[in-house]
Structure 1
């Protein structure tokens, strides 16, 4: 019994020691139940001057379209190919246009022959032939006249009926008409073509020459060449397909220079003007910075955003910039020197402005200088550093040294 009691007392002592150790351990570990969770925003970099965001676009982008319709005979390039101005891109079947050329040339040859004949006038042999025709018509008329005279004498003596006299008179009129026509043809041939008839034939030749020029232009337009030097960004043409006049076959882009298209707020637009040199930083291109030049500042704001479109041109000889990349455009100047931070990170106390930063899980309070405060963004000129993690919408419970959980 004595030994059992001894072991029981030892077990109680060990259990008590364990409870004391656990209690000490729990009391030595800080509790996280009352540590607030805060939303933070990180300053990526400190830049002076105005900074706006835009997108890279090609310096030139042209849709290659055919002037004529036709079936595609061949396509000389693939997507991504570099081409020079004047290089053949697409060839259309040209047999129909060649037939049009042949028809126009034949029509011109016929019209020119008629014009030469008109200008040359009637040949001597033709005039002699027409003169003979006149003589025959005169003889026929004289015979008809003599016959009528005899019949008229018989009619007057009552030996001939009225019907027979009228038939003889009709023959005389026919002979007179034939004579007049023969003389008119002879006179016309002898005088030659009129100025109006020659002018009409010359106009016909001119019209047919214009038709030939149109046919030749159509034939030439079956070969489609590159309007600029650049890269084939898109191809919509394959041999055997039908190409419609005006429908894009390819898209060419010129990428040795590129543009940045950005929007500038109304308050800063007057700091931009054509020729202004700016810094262009592209994060997806390794964070490199290029020098660019403002080439266009819109005089009209975007009705949806009230900001003004601006275009900046910069060199891209190594091809590292691609259309669609996001770029930061920085304009150096003293008027807006500072860094943009969310306005919700600024706290005003006793006439001064502060921010709260998080280092690890500890809050630090810092006074800042604000040059411009807008609804969403503030320009801070002093008191912040690169990579600072700012607390958004800090509460009155935060102070120097407070512990938080950054989100």
Structure 2
């Protein structure tokens, strides 16, 4: 077709179908509504988990194991008997001491009766009383020694895997079984000393681990170290994280984010921000009778976090901002708003619905 004919065809099309031409030239965008959301300045660190209470039980005497009363990984209560050593010899000594005490008590009774009749000296009564007291002390010592043959849980928790069996010979200091209290975990990490003035007990934090990539564990700072490491110039921090389902275990590596200076801020997606030199802009979508119009608005931004930006000035809560289709967006341009994204609706959903 000659060039003149093509131009004439376009002119006729614009003259006969102005509505169609306007529809083809209208730019489509997707918006998002600015919201007020909790915000804080993050401090990131790596930490290691520890049990709230943790110990390794060991014997204080040398003897063989007579009984093991727990299974691997079993939950136990404070005071539960875990391991009983062979104590037959000590039990025999206790019975002998008890028999001797009974004999001394009988002798004391006879001496007291004679002394009441003025048939024995008071010194005899006092000597027999001393023998009874000595026998009682011996019995108390034997009972205390027998407690060393019974290893009980010092606190409620979960035992580890046992590597011992009945009949095995144990000696003082030998590791027998681990016991950990896991309902609350301690998280130890270090931060640069420059943050010391911003940290305090009670400050909230969140932690994640590769073992549970979709889970976020919340906690708070329990205490700060009393010294700054002169080599790394960092200070130790200890936090506490609730662990009611006991998914977290001692020794796990955690990625920690401390939420300092918590506040409420206007928040927008990072995709809505257009940098221009040292300044930042957004495209506000203003409602008009004919069609929504774009308005370029300068904004002051604060901190950033994953996919979101804090807005200090320029945008208020409930303002609608263009987040998709910004490549060809211009100030004052009339646009076709496909919809607003939110937690339930994404950009892809709106684009597919417009097909």
Query: What TM-score results when the alignment is normalised by the length of structure 2?
Result: 0.57
Does structure 2 conserve the Cα–Cα contact (< 8 Å) formed by 1:79 and 1:234? yes
Task: Mark the structure with the bigger radius of gyration.
Answer: 1
Cα 1:103–1:367 change in 2 (3 A) is farther
* 1:219 and 2:146 matched: yes
Q: Distance in 2 between matches of 1:332 and 1:203?
A: 68
Q: Quick one: distance in 2 between partners of 1:120 and 1:385?
A: 91
* 1:243 counterpart residue number: 170
Matches within 5 A, 1:43-122: 48-121=41-114
Distance 1:224 1:384, change over 3 A: closer
The separation in 1 between residues aligned to 2:278 and 2:122, in whole angstroms, is: 97
Matched with 1:266 is 193
1:298-337 equivalences under 5 Å are 298-333=225-260
**Structure 1: how far apart are the matches of 2:306 and 2:78?**
51
The 2-side partners of 1:384 and 1:223 are apart by 55
Against the structure 1 CA distance between its residues 384 and 299, is the aligned structure 2 distance closer, same or farther, given a 3 Å change threshold? closer
Greater strand share, 1 or 2?
A: 2
Looking at structure 2, the residues matched to 301 and 211 of structure 1 have their Cα atoms a distance apart, in angstroms, of 52
Q: Which runs of 5+ in 2 are unaligned?
A: 1-39, 263-274, 280-300, 308-355
Give 1:199 shift.
1.9
Q: How far, CA to CA, are the matches of 1:195 and 1:78 in structure 2?
A: 59
Is the Cα–Cα contact under 8 Å of residues 115 and 121 in structure 2 kept in the other structure?
no
Kept in 2, the 8 Å contact 1:368–1:382? The answer is no
The alignment covers a number of residue pairs equal to: 237
Give yes or no for contact 1:366–1:383 (8 Å, CA) kept in 2: no
> In the alignment, is the contact (CA less than 8 A) between 1:296 and 1:311 conserved in 2?
yes
Whether 2:196 is the aligned partner of 1:203: answer no
- Which residue of the partner structure matches residue 277 of structure 1? 204
Q: Is residue 225–residue 237 contact of structure 2 (8 Å, CA) maintained in 1?
A: yes
Distance 2:276 2:251 in 1: 39
Residue of structure 1 equivalent to 2:317: none
Q: Gapped runs of 5+ residues in structure 1?
A: 1-46, 124-189, 336-364, 370-379, 387-407
Identify the range of structure 1 (98-107 vs 326-335) with the bigger mean alpha-carbon deviation.
Answer: 326-335
Q: Which has the higher helix share?
A: 1
Counterpart in the other structure of 2:224: 297
How much has 1:114 moved relative to structure 2? 2.7
Asked if the contact 2:63–2:85 (Cα under 8 Å) also holds between the matched residues in 1, the reply is: yes
Distance 1:267 1:285, change over 3 A: same
| C-alpha contact (below 8 Å) 1:368/1:383 kept by paired residues | no
The Cα of 1:106 is off from its aligned counterpart by 2.1
User: What RMSD in Å do the two structures reach over aligned CA positions?
Assistant: 3.5
8 A contact 2:203–2:259 mirrored in 1: no
Q: For the Cα contact (< 8 Å) 1:368–1:384, is it kept in 2?
A: no
Retained in 1: the 8 A contact 2:46–2:189? Answer: yes
1:259 deviation in Å?
1.6
Distance in 1 (alpha carbons) for counterparts of 2:125 and 2:244: 64
Q: Note the alpha carbon deviations across 1:202-257, whole angstroms, 9 max, x for none.
A: 11211111111222333344332222222222435321122334543211112222
